[in-house]
Every structure is written in structure tokens, then in C-alpha cells.
A and B are shown apart, each in its own frame.
Chain A
Amino acid sequence: MVDRVILGRRGGQNGLFISKPGVDVSSASDSQLLFRTTAGFETLQIVKSGRVYLTTGEPVTISVPNLGYRPKVILQSDWNIGILTGFGTNSHIFHWVDYLSNTEIRLNVDKNNIFDSNYSLYVVLRENINHG
């Protein structure tokens, strides 16, 4: 079994380093590390998630923690098994969000001839929508 965790010095850097399964942490390249605390390593973190009843023309406003910026949101229909019951002709569906402030976000959907339960799932990410 290879060593996969170093808490301390690795090469010229100090930190916590964890390699991917099967890779020796002492010689792993950056892409072979599952986690490291040194500069340049970032992970996508979820601040909040939920399920809301959302229909066309009836947006829902959610409150999110104040991160000091407008966080990115991923929003999609909850089409779990059996929930999507059918499509009509010229069907469409898309979601979007309106930022009312850093902490108030309005969730929207526009659907046509989509037959489902009208529930949508969202996750709020620790990512600034205004920073590229």
C-alpha cells in the first residue's frame, strides 16, 4: 500500500497533502493529488441547496448567507424517476436567477408543454458570479 497522506513537509512546501488512491503522495504530481493546502488549489463548495415549487411566472426568492458577493447558482428541474410525465409539441424549459442583493436571489423557470411536478433543485456555490 502506498503512502497517501503527508501532514508536514513535501518537497519545498509545508501543508496537508493527500494523493489519489494508488498514488504515492511524496512523488505525486499536482493532478495526482486529491487535496492539498498549498496555493492554487481550489474546490467548488456548496453554500446552500434546496428544492422549491417553481412554475412559469411565479418566481421564488431565497435567502443565502452573505459571502460579500453574488454567488453562482445552479438550478434545474427535479425530474426524478416518474416525475417527468411528458412533453408536448414545441416544448421548452429554461431556468434563470435574478440577484436582488448579495443575500436575496430570485429563482425563475419558463416552461412550455413540459409536464412534471413543478419542483426544481438548486445549489448555491461559493463562487462569485461577477468574477471570471
Chain B
Amino acid sequence: MTDRILLGAFDGTHVLRASRPGYDVKNTGLPTEHLSFDSRWPEIGNILSRGTFQMGGNDPAFNYYYGTTYADPPLVIVHMSGANNDLDTWYPIDQAIWYDFNVAVFVFRDRFQISTNATNNVGSSQRTFRYVVMRNFYG
């Protein structure tokens, strides 16, 4: 059976390290995608907050403030419900969807902002948005 947990001296330092099933944790050249955890990583994607809100295509931009100002913008994942607030359909939202789909998320150091426009596909009806803010930073 492959060794998968290592706590102690390794690769010139001390680590707590776990590999994925089938991969030898002692392999210093193991790619990141074959590791479950390594204490040398600066972040592991822990969640700072999550929540939900609704807004329509004609509403002003929605701002969610983190409650603090980070040195760099955090990672924010936002999903929007389907047409007429269909909760069986969900769109992952990012900036690239702005031009023809007319909804976008802008991530700042102190907040993220959702902007919509009723023209084209968003429509004027309310949509549900669900978000996760994570400690991984873009900076």
C-alpha cells in the first residue's frame, strides 16, 4: 500500500502532508493535483462567507461588503438562477458573461459587486444569486 500521510522532516523542512489515493506522499516531485494537503501551501481555499440575495435586471448594482479590506481581492464564486427565477437552472457568473448576457461580478478588495441589465437574456424578473467568498487571493 502506498504511503499517504507524512508528518515530520521532509524535503529540507518539516511538513504535514497527505497525498491522494495511489500516490506516494514521499515523492518530492509529486504534482499538486496528486496532493490532498501540504502545510507549505499558503492557502487551502477556506470559506470566509457564503450567502444569497435576489435582484432583478433593472435593479441597481448589488454590493456585498466583506467587513474588512484585504490586501488583495479574494476568490468569489457566484451562481445565478435561471429565467423567471428557475431554481432548477443555474449560471456560474463571471466578468466575461457581461457583453451579451448582461450580468457580471466585479471583485474588489473590500466587496464584490453584481451588475445586471434587463436587456438581452437576464430580463427584468427577480433572480436568485448564491455566493461563496474564499480566502484564496488573486494578488
Chain A residues in contact with chain B, CB under 8 A? 1, 4-5, 18, 20-21, 31, 34-35, 41-44, 72-76, 90, 92-99, 112, 127, 129-132
Provide the main secondary structure of the chain B interface.
Answer: strand
Q: How far is the CA of A127 from the CA of B40 in the complex (A)?
A: 26
Residue B61 at the chain A interface, CB threshold 8 Å: no
Provide the main secondary structure of the chain A interface.
Answer: strand
Q: When A and B form their complex, what is the total count of cross-chain residue pairs whose Cβ atoms lie within 8 Å?
A: 88
With A96-B91, A98-B88, A99-B88: A72-B77 Cβ-Cβ less than 8 Å? yes
- Residues of chain B within 8 A of A97, CB atoms compared: 89-90, 92
**Contacting pair A132 B50 (CB below 8 A):** yes
Band of interface residues on B: 35 or more
**Contacting pair B92 A1 (CB below 8 A):** no
Q: How far is the CA of A75 from the CA of B8 in the complex (A)?
A: 38
Q: How far is the CA of A43 from the CA of B101 in the complex (A)?
A: 30
Q: Nearest CB to that of B16 among chain A residues?
A: A5
- Residues of chain B within 8 A of A34, CB atoms compared: 39, 41-44
**Contacting pair B47 A43 (CB below 8 A):** yes
Closest CB in chain A relative to B25 CB, distance in Å:
16
**Contacting pair A44 B134 (CB below 8 A):** yes
Residue B100 at the chain A interface, CB threshold 8 Å: yes
- Residues of chain B within 8 A of A131, CB atoms compared: 50, 52, 130
Closest CB in chain B relative to A104 CB, distance in Å:
12
